Amino acid sequence: MPYPPNHRQETKAKIVLSARRLFNRFGFDGVSIQQIMADAGLTHGGFYKHFASKSDLYAEVMARFFTDPGRNSNREGVSVDMKVADAGAQIVRAYLSRSFLEEIDNSCPMVALPSDVARRDKKAKQAFHTAFEAMVDLLQRSSVKKDHSSRTSALAIAALCVGGMVVARAGEGHALANELRRAAMEVALKLGGWGDDTNSKQSSRRRSND
């Protein structure tokens, strides 16, 4: 019996989803291809029909994080719509939200894997670089600033988001983690020219997640 036309794409998407969950939970080195395929409900041998290596899979995981329309972009009232003018502010609020701190499996691999990537091959490093640049580009295009400083600000905002969440997750105490991400969020929003966004229609819902 032949597979449906979209079978290959759906199978690949399942592998990527399982990989993101497991990479985020256990790190690049802490999970094997066999474990990823088992989590996806697939056989180990089927992996190589879609990817040449674990680094290739990691590159796909990184590439899809901001572009996959099926990815959950709503967290406890904090939504991200890449097409609106204030997408940058939404990214900052979602990235530094309490639920992002606690929701490890579905979070951005840039938070979970920076030290792993530093020890990996060129392809994995390039994937990290490409994802980070994509984030910077989104933030820069959404920034209120339209001068030469907008890229500098976008780089700093991206670093605050990724680095802030890395440090917040590294500690044991929730009090410090929450204080840190709120501070990073406040500075990042100011850098982007978005202020505290208190007049937004979503501000009350956002503050409940901050």
* Inter-residue contact 64 to 71 (CB < 8 Å): yes
Averaged confidence pLDDT in the chain: 81
Mean pLDDT over 139-159 rounds to 88
* Separation of alpha carbons 48 and 77, rounded Å: 39
The answer to whether residues 38 and 100 belong to one domain is no
Per the confidence metrics, is the pTM higher than 0.85? Answer: no
Task: Take residue 86 and report the two structure tokens written for it.
Answer: 């204030």
The answer to whether residues 186 and 119 belong to one domain is yes
The answer to whether residues 101 and 44 belong to one domain is no
Percentage of the chain exceeding pLDDT 70: 80
Q: What is the pLDDT of residue 59?
A: 85
CATH number at residue 200: 1.10.357.10
Sign of the C-alpha dihedral, residues 97, 125, 118, 12? positive
Q: Which single residue is written with the structure tokens 């490890």?
A: 104
Angle between helices 122-142 and 150-170 (to 10 degrees): 120
Q: Which single residue is written with the structure tokens 């202020």?
A: 195
pLDDT tens-digit map of 28-66: 888 999 999 999 999 999 999 999 999 899 888 887 776
The answer to whether residues 61 and 83 belong to one domain is no
- What DSSP string describes the chain? -PPPTTHHHHHHHHHHHHHHHHHHHH-STT--HHHHHHHTT--GGGGGGT-SSHHHHHHHHHHHHTT-TTS--EETTEE--TTSTTHHHHHHHHHTSHHHHH--TTS-HHHH-HHHHHTS-HHHHHHHHHHHHHHHHHHHHH-S--STTHHHHHHHHHHHHHHHHHHHHHSS-HHHHHHHHHHHHHHHHHHTT-TT-TTSTTHHHHHHH-
Residue 51 structural domain: 7-65
Q: Say how many domains are in the chain.
A: 2
